[in-house]
Structures are given as structure tokens and as C-alpha cells.
Amino acid sequence: MKKVLAGILDFFTVFIIGGIAIGKFTGGMTDGGFKLEGMPALILFALIIAYFVIGWKTGGTLWQRILKTR
């Protein structure tokens, strides 16, 4: 159960932080947050995939380490 929770929290953490960062650099910020289309959206998806791959290869993602599931 903790692994599933860690995965969900990792996804939302990277999605929100990455989305805001990419939105600020590409002009995709809105009053309610960010809206990414086209290449910025693909960059965010690549960032999410890279986060999990690097996390799994280096001993765990951020939330896996916090929740001690790895």
C-alpha cells in the first residue's frame, strides 16, 4: 500500500512542480495554474518518465525514500 501511495505522490509532485516550471519558461501559465500543449506537454511527460527511471536506478524516488518503501 505504501508503494502505491509513494507512486501517486511522486507523480503529482513531479507533475505539479514540472508543470509550473515548464509553464513559466514557455508562457503556459494561467490564472488557475498552467496549461501545456504541444512540445511543452511532451517535455513534461519526458520529465515524469525520466524522474521515475532515475529514481528507480538510484535507490528510490523522493516519496519512496520518505515513506521508506525502498
Please write the tens of the pLDDT for every residue from 13-65. Answer: 999 999 999 999 999 899 999 999 999 999 999 999 999 999 999 999 999 99
Full domain range(s) for residue 58 = 2-65
Q: Is residue 70 part of a domain?
A: no
| Domain count for the chain | 1
Q: Where would I find the beta strands (DSSP E) of 1-70?
A: 29-30, 33-34
Q: Is residue 7 part of a domain?
A: yes
Residue 70 has pLDDT above 80, yes or no: no
Q: Is residue 47 part of a domain?
A: yes
Q: Is residue 27 part of a domain?
A: yes
What span, in angstroms and rounded, lies between the C-alpha atoms of 51 and 17? Answer: 12
What pLDDT does residue 28 have?
87
What pLDDT does residue 14 have?
97
